Amino acid sequence: MKPVIFGMSGLSLTPDEAAFFRDADPAGYILFARNIADIAQVRALTDSLRALHGRDDLLIMIDQEGGRVARMRPPVWPAFPPGSAFDALYEIAPASAIEAARTNAQAIATTLRECGITVDALPLLDVRQPGASDIMGDRTFGSDPMRVAALGRAVLDGLKRGGVTGIVKHMPGHGRALVDSHLELPHVDADEAALAIDLEPFRTLNWAPIGMTAHIVYAAWDNTLPASLSPTVLQNIIRDRIGFDGLLMSDDLDMKALSGSVPELAAGVVAAGCDLALNCWARMDEMIGIADALPDITPRARERLDAAMSYAATPTDDAPLDVLLAKRDSFLALA
C-alpha cells in the first residue's frame, strides 16, 4: 500500500485509473464535485473502489463542510450551514449550539454514508483571528479556542453517530494566515504565546482519529518550511506538544502554497512525518510519479489508518435525515 490519497477524474473510474489504482494500492481516495451526480452514481463509484481493493473499510473522503465548501449540493442533497452559524448560536445558547452542531454533523454523515463515503474533512479547529484571510472566515467556529473545541467535539461525535470519521484541520492552525494557501504560501510571524491559542482546540481534541496539516510557515517554529514539510512542526508541535497520535495527512499537494513537483512534494511530506500525502486532481502523470516516489506505507501509519477506519465503522444512531434536519433547524432558529 502506498501512503497517498488520490482523486479521480470523473463520475466513474476510467480503465486506466482502475488498472493504475489496482497496482498502486493507495491508502484511499477523495471525491470532488466532478465525481458527483446523484446518490446511485456516487454509490456505484465508491462500491467500485472497494471492490477494486477488496477493502470494505477503504478510506473514501470528501470535503463536505457546509456553506461554500460542499461537494454534494441541492437539489440532490440538502444545503448545510457553515461553521459560523453555530458560532452565532453559541453566543446566545451554548448548549443549543453544541447540540445543533452535533445533529448537523450526523445529518451530513447520513448523506455521506448512503453514498459509501467513509470520511469527511470536518471539523475545522482553526481559531479565527482579526485581519486574517477570508479563506477561513465563515467556515470556522469563531475566535474563542474553548468554543471552537466544544463545537468541534460535537461535530466529531455527530459524524461518528452517522458512521463517518471526521478529520480535524488545519494543524497546527490556519486562523492567522493573511493570504489564501490555495494561492500562495502564508507566513505567520506570531510568537509562541499567540500560537499557543491556536493549538488549544487541537490539544483538547488530540484524540481525534485523523488530522490534516496546514501549508503555512510558522516563523516561531520553522522559518523556512511550511508545516506539511517541516519535521520540526510535525514532530515537535503536532505529535509532541499537541499530543496528536492519529492518522496525519497533508493538505492538497497541488495548492500554490507549495513549490516543486507534486511527486517531490508527496515524498517530502511523508519523509517529514505525515502518514499520508493528499493528491486531489487525478492527473495520471502526477499520480504515476507519486507512486514511484513514495515508499510503502510504514507499519505505524498503517496501524493509524486501520484505527481511523474502525473508529466510525458502524453508525450508532439511525435517525432519519428529515428528523435530524428539523431538529437542527429548530436550534438554529434561536439565533
Bridge partner residues of 321 (DSSP):
none
Mean pLDDT across the stretch 253-278? 92
Mean pLDDT across the stretch 227-254? 96
Tally the residues of the chain.
Answer: 335
pLDDT at 308 over 90: yes
pLDDT, position 138 = 87
Per-residue confidence at 317, pLDDT binned at 50, 70, 90? very high
pLDDT tens sequence across 71-105: 999 999 999 999 999 999 999 999 999 999 999 99
pLDDT, position 302 = 98
Task: Report whether the peptide linkage leading into residue 75 is cis, meaning its omega lies within 30 degrees of zero.
Answer: yes
Mark whether 329 is an active-site residue: no
pLDDT at 256 over 70: no
* CA distances for 270 relative to 50, 77, 130, 168, 310, angstroms: 24, 35, 33, 19, 23
Q: Which long-range contacts (CB under 8 A, 24 or more apart) does 229-234 make?
A: 229/258, 229/265, 229/268, 229/269, 229/272, 230/272, 231/272, 231/273, 233/172, 234/272, 234/273, 234/274
pLDDT tens sequence across 107-154: 999 999 999 999 999 999 999 988 776 677 789 999 999 999 999 999
Mark whether 182 is an active-site residue: yes
pLDDT at 44 over 70: yes
Q: For the chain, what is the mean pLDDT?
A: 95
pLDDT at 194 over 80: yes
pLDDT at 300 over 90: yes
Bridge partner residues of 276 (DSSP):
249
pLDDT, position 140 = 92
Cell digits of residue 253:
499537494
The one catalytic residue in 53, 138, 182, 245 is 182
pLDDT, position 177 = 78
pLDDT, position 183 = 62
The one catalytic residue in 126, 251, 252, 275 is 251
Q: Which amino acid is at 307?
A: A
Contact by Cβ (8 Å): 141, 97: no
pLDDT at 207 over 90: yes
Contact by Cβ (8 Å): 20, 287: yes
Contact by Cβ (8 Å): 124, 65: yes
